[in-house]
Amino acid sequence: MEPPTAPTVPRPKSPTRPEVPITTTPPVKRERRWSVVALCVVLAVLCGLGAAAAVTSASDRKQVLAVARDVPAGQALTAADLTVAEVSADEALTPVPAADKADVIGKRPAVDLRKGGLLTTSQLGAGTGLGDDQQQVGVQIKRGQAPAGTLAPGDKVLAVSTPAQGDEQDSKDDGPPSTIEAAVVSVSRPDASGTVVVNLAVATTDGPTLATRAAMGRIALVREPRSN
């Protein structure tokens, strides 16, 4: 007699696994930003050009002499009249190098020098440029003995002899005053009393006479009309 068969117990079902698609993620490619690279290259080139230009500009500049204050023609230059300026090299300009300052001191310009201008070799002649072939006499002029503030180098003047103090004059008997033709070489800056020294160029025959009258304070100046 066969033993009874045990009942078959059904096996429990395993939980259903969701179907997940198998995918592969490709590696992320780094985009090369060519515009940024190009910009960096351009900036580097510009910086290099700027540095080169700065070096070139600095090497092309030189120190020259400039006028520190107004100087009339014929007046000897002093150290206070000059200053040093730095300018770009230019073949069209002929400024005096700053290294030549000691050689320039004492020279007399042939033209008026204006503050702020460069001192050029053409402004400095062998002499004053005025009356170099004549005698020169310094005349001290007080207020009222010359036109105020109008005398300039190159002006033609008459050095008029004035009467000595205490002399009595009779207008009926006296003729015209004695005069000497002269040219203004330079005019000094007025002192506290307004007195100036005017350097006059005169003929060699008139120098001693003018010097004698000037020493006695018996000279007044009359400016001749200027030519147009």
pLDDT, tens digit (0-9, with 9 covering 90-100), for 54-76: 554 545 678 889 999 988 777 78
Which tens digits make up the pLDDT trace of 137-184? 999 998 888 887 778 877 889 999 988 766 655 555 567 888 999 988
Least confidently predicted of 51-60, 68-77, 108-117, 198-207? 51-60
Contact 87, 116 (CB under 8 A): no
DSSP 183-212: EEEEEPPP-TTS-EEEEEEE-TTTHHHHHH
Q: What is the DSSP string of 26-63?
A: PPPPPPP-HHHHHHHHHHHHHHHHHHHHHHHHHHHEEE
CA 203 from chain centre, in angstroms, equals 38
What is the spatial distance between Cα 225 and Cα 53, in angstroms, rounded to a whole number?
55
Distance (Å, rounded) from C-alpha 25 to C-alpha 51? 50
pLDDT tens by residue, 77-109: 888 999 998 887 666 667 888 888 888 888 878
